[in-house]
Amino acid sequence: LLEATMTKGGRTRQRIIEQAAPLFNRQGFAGCSMQDVLDATGLEKGGVYRHFAGKEELAAAVFAWSLKQAVKTRTDGLDQVGNAVERLKAVIRRFVETPSPVAGGCPLLNTAVDADDGNATLRRLVRKAFADWRRRVGELVTQGVAAGEIRQDADPARVADTIIAALEGGLVLSRLDGNREALGSVETMLGEMLERMRADGRRP
Amino acid sequence: LLEATMTKGGRTRQRIIEQAAPLFNRQGFAGCSMQDVLDATGLEKGGVYRHFAGKEELAAAVFAWSLKQAVKTRTDGLDQVGNAVERLKAVIRRFVETPSPVAGGCPLLNTAVDADDGNATLRRLVRKAFADWRRRVGELVTQGVAAGEIRQDADPARVADTIIAALEGGLVLSRLDGNREALGSVETMLGEMLERMRADGRRP
Amino acid sequence: LLEATMTKGGRTRQRIIEQAAPLFNRQGFAGCSMQDVLDATGLEKGGVYRHFAGKEELAAAVFAWSLKQAVKTRTDGLDQVGNAVERLKAVIRRFVETPSPVAGGCPLLNTAVDADDGNATLRRLVRKAFADWRRRVGELVTQGVAAGEIRQDADPARVADTIIAALEGGLVLSRLDGNREALGSVETMLGEMLERMRADGRRP
Amino acid sequence: LLEATMTKGGRTRQRIIEQAAPLFNRQGFAGCSMQDVLDATGLEKGGVYRHFAGKEELAAAVFAWSLKQAVKTRTDGLDQVGNAVERLKAVIRRFVETPSPVAGGCPLLNTAVDADDGNATLRRLVRKAFADWRRRVGELVTQGVAAGEIRQDADPARVADTIIAALEGGLVLSRLDGNREALGSVETMLGEMLERMRADGRRP
DNA sequence: ACTCACGGGACAGCCCGTTCTT
DNA sequence: AAGAACGGGCTGTCCCGTGAGT
């Protein structure tokens, strides 16, 4: 569908991005050489530099695509959940259960850590990405409060910050150990936290 | 004191480690060149390679030292706090308020993200470091339960995982934005979580 | 007139030559990339390689055109000058006063210096160009001698060599300094030289 | 003698310069690759880049050395010639008869033509070199005038400009043809010019 | 007649590491 | 203990040229 509407060069460009994404995500910007990209795509120098002016531009395109994938896999089909608390828990569950949209862990966090020195472009992109995510989660809380499902004294921004921080941190720990333990712990504890935030304290 | 007991070579070695630490922490293993280390130390090749067999060995020594610094700044003087919950909150507060022991963010998380691909040595070291940290925090919870201060149904491992994950995740967000907002949110929310874990529900 | 007689492809070919000429003249063969030519013409690879088999052929065509321009600007309307000595002085004055037909200095000398190593084709072309020029100037002297205007003992070849050498050398010096001083000196001294070559020694 | 006073690195540096000089002189800056230099010296990348920060710095060092060689071969032992006119003629004869100090023609003129676009550093160096040369030749004329050997109305600067321009131009023509004809013509004509500049008109 | 897409090689420069010297 | 000198491989980028497509 989407591919059909693209010119040949556009398809190649897209293929480069998708095949380079896990490399940058795993190895970082400095650790991923253009030769790695060539090997992964089967192209030669000329074939890649036609589509991207340089490594930085490629990395930016890769991050933009990875971000889009991350947003999609974490939000698709989550609107239909009715209750606010349930919706937040669904967001958490989705994050915990769905494997990273790009091999090598969450591209948001990886890029945040990788680009916190230098590379202002990527840094700006990733900052905006996290800001958007925090805003979206915060809005879920706000809606829950407005709907009377969540206690009035809940602070949406703080709840959002904590959920996102714990999830990302938990993902790092889980990846390091190669199991789901830390992420599972985070899911459980965040779940309990959300339950205690219900308006009337009734537990389901 | 410690320096006085060292031979000249030992002092140079130590100086290399301390001056290289922020470089590796900020730029990552691949992004930090030996030339960067030479520039920072004012030494020449021979002066560094006398003390370290190669870049990997230097990075390992740097991480070991950075880890020691991190542990020290995060635990020094925290034993005297009497109450278990208070001790956990002190751990959190210390993490939030104390700047990173090495410029460039938490070396534990940075290395975890940087070395999750390849570099088995560093990966092993950082895994052990997180395991120790989780164990130490978990023991604080266990002691609290044993002392009747924390509810019986509290799961020490899960609490520890969540605290550490949220703190590390919060640090990334805060560093990215250049302010303390996310970390502050995490501190508040973790604090509330701990309060609700008190044995009899009495709030101080 | 001339353009009207050309096919579209021929006009494009001509446009490429004229827009590439200053690039080759200023940057030299090795220093002028095909990309530079593309940028200057607004064409793509295929659009240039349709008209020229390769960089060398383009350079040869550029030189041939530049040479034609040089000859034209240096000879146009100089036939009507009656006296032989005056005609030679007009040749000199024209060279000194007329800006280079192609930006970047005299294409003859530039190519001579640029192509004296390798590039046999260009070398041959430029050698012939200088030979023609020397012959033409020499013939002016010969005619002057035959007409009794110039002393019998004047050596046409030597006079021609010296005039051309001094003019080209003077142009290099002037271009380097960004003023007309050296060229002016050359014009003056060559003028005096020619005056002393008059048959009867009468000064005008 | 001089070599003995140099450190090993200094000798290598000097060897690089001397072996790279003909390459730059013949092929120009853009046309001479660092690989050419490596091939000529037998060194590897690391061995050259230790002594020169980059190609431009090497080219500057090469030009400085080439210039020194040129000045030496063109001035050595010319002081003892007594008469001013004879001294000027000796300068010319030396230039005509002595082969280029660096293979590939006069490095002054070659660099002047090669670097007239971009490369401000080299351009400045070569401008100063020509200025010095013109000044030195001009002083010879001035001394001749002061000593009463050369006519009062001789313009030292113009004479110097013309001599240098004609010699350099003649060298280009001669190199192109592969014979000494043009240079011989220039020598003869400049000689006659100088003779006519003698103070009392007495011809020797 | 010209653009788009790509191959493959070359270039300048940087990097890690070794050896020699002091 | 540390600096000086060098090897050789690799990186990002540019370059020239070809061929399919329009």
Q: What angle do CA B54, B57, B60 make, to 5 degrees?
A: 150
**Any contact of B with A, at least 3 CB pairs below 8 A?**
yes
Residues B22-30: what's their mean pLDDT?
96
Q: pLDDT, tens digit, for every residue of B88-117?
A: 999 999 999 999 999 999 999 999 999 988
Residue A1 has pLDDT above 80, yes or no: no
Residue C35 beta carbon within 7 A of nucleic strand F: yes
D150: three-class secondary structure by DSSP = strand
Q: Which long-range contacts (CB under 8 A, 24 or more apart) does A50-56 make?
A: A50/A9, A51/A9, A51/A12, A51/A13, A51/A16, A52/A13, A52/A16, A55/A29, A56/A119, A56/A121
Residue A53 has pLDDT above 80, yes or no: yes
Residue A45 beta carbon within 7 A of nucleic strand F: yes
- Strand E bases, protein C-beta under 7 A: 1-20
CB A107 within 8 A of CB A101: yes
Confidence of residue A58 (pLDDT cuts 50, 70, 90): very high
Confidence of residue B3 (pLDDT cuts 50, 70, 90): low
**Any contact of D with A, at least 3 CB pairs below 8 A?**
no
The sign of the dihedral angle between the CA atoms of B187, B192, B193, B198 is positive
Q: What six digits make up the tokens of C177?
A: 């300094």
Q: How many CB atoms lie within 10 A of CB C178?
A: 8
Residue D60 beta carbon within 7 A of nucleic strand E: no
Confidence of residue B78 (pLDDT cuts 50, 70, 90): confident
Residues D45-53: what's their mean pLDDT?
96
Please enumerate in sequence order all residues whose Cβ is within 8 A of that of D62, keeping only pairs 6 or more positions apart, or say none. Answer: D17, D20, D21, D24
What is the DSSP code string of B129-184? HHHHHHHHHHHHHHHHHHTTSB-TT--HHHHHHHHHHHHHHHHHHHHHHTSSHHHH
Instruction: Give pLDDT, residue A141.
Output: 97
Between CA C31 and CA C55 the distance in angstroms is 12
C31: three-class secondary structure by DSSP = helix
Q: Which residue of A has its CA nearest to B169?
A: A165
Residues C89-118: what's their mean pLDDT?
94
D198: three-class secondary structure by DSSP = strand
Between chain A and chain B, how many beta carbons pairs sit less than 8 Å apart? 168
Tokens 């009377």, residue?
A: A148
Residue D168 has pLDDT above 70, yes or no: yes
Higher-confidence residue: B11 or B189?
B189
Confidence of residue A137 (pLDDT cuts 50, 70, 90): very high
Between CA C77 and CA C98 the distance in angstroms is 13
The mean predicted confidence, pLDDT, of chain D is: 93
- Candidates C78, C83, C41; CA nearest to C58 is C41
- Candidates B98, B75, B85, B102; CA nearest to B159 is B85
Please enumerate in sequence order all residues whose Cβ is within 8 A of that of B75, keeping only pairs 6 or more positions apart, or say none. Answer: B91, B136
User: Considering chain B, what percentage of its residues have pLDDT values greater than 90?
Assistant: 84
Instruction: Give pLDDT, residue B2.
Output: 56
CB C88 within 8 A of CB C23: no
Residues B157-176: what's their mean pLDDT?
98
Confidence of residue D181 (pLDDT cuts 50, 70, 90): very high
Of B105, B161, B170, the CB nearest to A173: B161
Instruction: Give pLDDT, residue A201.
Output: 52
Residue D130 has pLDDT above 80, yes or no: yes
Which of B92, B185, B196, B198 best probes binding to A when mutated, by most A CB atoms within 10 angstroms? B185
Helix/strand number for chain D, H first, E second:
9, 0
Q: How far is CA D12 from CA A121, C4, C10, D37, D68, in A?
A: 43, 62, 54, 13, 19
Residue D3 has pLDDT above 70, yes or no: no
Q: What angle do CA C110, C113, C119 make, to 5 degrees?
A: 105
Instruction: Give pLDDT, residue C79.
Output: 80
Which residues of chain C are within 8 Å of residue D108 when distances are taken between CB atoms? none
Output DSSP code: residue A154: -
User: Considering chain A, what percentage of its residues have pLDDT values greater than 90?
Assistant: 85
Task: Please name the nucleotide lying closest to C48, CA to C1'.
Answer: E2
pTM: 0.92
Find the range with the poorest average confidence among B106-110, B197-201, C169-173, D93-97.
B197-201
CB A77 within 8 A of CB A98: no
The mean predicted confidence, pLDDT, of chain C is: 92
Between CA B96 and CA B90 the distance in angstroms is 10
